Amino acid sequence: MTDIVIVGAGQGGLQAAISLRQEGHDGSITLIGAEDGLPYQRPPLSKAYLKGGAAEGLCLRPASFYEAQDVRLVAGTWVERIDRAGRAVHAGGARHPYDHLILATGTRNLRPDIPGLDRALDLRTLADAVRLRDLLDRPRRCAVIGGGFIGLEFAAVARGLGHDVTIAEAAPRLMARVVSPEMSARFLRLHTDLGNDVHLGDPAVEVTGEAVILRSGARIEADLVLLAAGVVPNAELAAEAGLPVDNGVVVDARMRTADPAISALGDCAVFPDPATGRPVRLESVQAATDHARLIAKRLVKDAPDPYAAVPWFWSDQADAKLQIAGLAEPGDASVPRGAGAVFRFAGDRLAAVETVNDARTHMQARRRLAAGPVTRAALDAAGYDLTAV
């Protein structure tokens, strides 16, 4: 195998290039990204960068890395199509042949059919963050559409900078898709204590030049509107190439698509959950980098290992660091323990552990979940001591 093309120059795509070289791949690597400039970290955009962090600190590798590692970076270029029969990617008017193709196309903001939504800003890219930071240089009335990680991180930062903030969440609780009701309630208290107004179960139905209108008729006066109501996977390229797509590019446990010459990783990939076998798609930097490492080992060394890493997530909001080890469904049972931990159960099986400002318990949970299944009965008997089960 000589020529490898990676579509998507985010953290997962770049990690694939890094890992391929680390594993000994000596053929060509072409990394194609839609954004101009060098690949960068996205998580700080909604936190440290908005507070005044330097853009230079976001770069994952300096320009010298690409020359030293013989990685051809094709930036600011959209991929038009995949020619599976001819094993080539067409992008920016050029043809890029491949022996193997890795799709790391990520996600984009979900944009509901709401009148006036074109007035709302995104927070997905560095360009988005630059625009927002410039707008926050004077007092603003900020309306946030969406009560997930990105919206709440922005809300905490904006409030800390002295802006008025109102959050409108269509679901009945904050971060409902990813955390327990108890953790949702804790972060609702955090935001109301900060002085943020929160509307739950009341979706936005219109964005005007001066306000966001909610389904209840409530009117949120705003001169800055952020859309953070979820994402959709960038799977159209794969679908147009005839690959199976179902809420993302469908892959097996080794991150292979239906075409043996194409793999997919990160936010755009749907794979079997190692714990349950059900198809999942993880919006997580760590999952993307783990996928990339696995693909590199498979391509270079024919490693047979399936993806089996314990997923983990985090969100920094004001002085609260939320960390989640494992993967729970919204309806999974929850057992609060101590000052900041919630244990989530799928039936009798421990599915996830949520913590706030408790890195020790978070790391214990990751290690224990990686060791194999643990039951609620066993945890009850051990007094929820993760080191004793």
Per-residue confidence in pLDDT tens, the chain, 389 aa: 699 999 999 999 999 999 999 999 999 999 999 999 999 999 999 999 999 888 888 999 999 999 999 999 999 999 999 999 999 999 999 999 999 999 999 999 999 999 999 999 999 999 999 999 999 999 999 999 999 999 999 999 999 999 999 999 999 999 999 999 999 999 999 999 999 999 999 999 999 999 999 999 999 999 999 999 999 999 999 999 999 999 999 999 999 999 999 999 999 999 999 989 999 999 999 999 999 999 999 999 999 999 999 999 999 999 999 999 999 999 999 999 988 899 999 999 999 999 999 999 999 999 999 999 999 999 999 999 999 99
CA 200 – CA 218 distance, rounded (Å) = 12
Q: Which of 328, 301, 299, 302 is nearest to 313 (CA)?
A: 328
Determine which helix (DSSP H) or strand (DSSP E) holds 324, and give its type and residue range.
Answer: strand 320-326
CA 72 – CA 204 distance, rounded (Å) = 44
The one-letter amino acid code at 260 reads P
- In this prediction, residue 159 carries a pLDDT of 97
Task: Let me know the angle formed at the C-alpha of 327 by 108 and 278, rounded to the nearest 5 degrees.
Answer: 85
Looking at the DSSP assignment, which residues form a beta bridge with residue 333? 345
Domains identified in the chain and CATH numbers:
3-108+231-301 (3.50.50.60), 111-227 (3.50.50.60), 319-388 (3.30.390.30)
Per DSSP, the three-state class of 322 is: strand
Q: How many helices (H) and strands (E) does the chain have?
A: 9, 25
Q: What is the dihedral of CA 3, 126, 179, 267, to 10 degrees?
A: -20
Quickly tell me which residue has 């993302």 as its tokens: 248
Q: Environment class of residue 68 by beta-carbon count within 10 Å: exposed (0-12), middle (13-18) or buried (19+)?
A: exposed
Q: Environment class of residue 149 by beta-carbon count within 10 Å: exposed (0-12), middle (13-18) or buried (19+)?
A: buried
Q: What is the pTM of this model?
A: 0.95
Q: Which of 73, 60, 66 is nearest to 5 (CA)?
A: 73
Q: Which of 37, 57, 39, 61 is nearest to 49 (CA)?
A: 57
Q: Which of 300, 45, 58 is nearest to 154 (CA)?
A: 45
Judged by phi (left if over 0) then psi (alpha if -120 to 50, else beta), residue 326 lies in left
Q: 132, 36 in Cβ contact below 8 A? A: no
CA 56 – CA 42 distance, rounded (Å) = 13
